[in-house]
Amino acid sequence: MPVVTFPVEGRDNCAVVDGTPYVYATVRGEGFVMRARCAHRGGPLHLAAVAAESARLVCPWHERKTSLTRLRAEIPAVRTGGRVTAVIPDRRLALVRPCSAPPAPPALAAPSAPSVELEHRPLSRDLARAAGCG
Per-residue pLDDT of the chain (134 residues; tens, 9 = 90+): 889 999 998 888 999 998 999 999 988 888 999 999 998 888 999 999 998 877 889 999 988 898 989 999 999 999 999 999 999 987 654 444 444 445 555 555 555 667 888 878 888 888 876 544 44
Looking at residue 6, what is its pLDDT?
Answer: 94
Q: How far is the C-alpha of 92 from the C-alpha of 15, rounded, in Å?
A: 18
Q: Report the CATH number of the 3-92+114-131 domain.
A: 2.102.10
Q: What pLDDT shows up at residue 40?
A: 82
What pLDDT sits at residue 39? Answer: 85
What does pTM read for this prediction?
0.74
Find residue 87's DSSP bridge partners: 3
Question: 28: which DSSP letter?
Answer: T
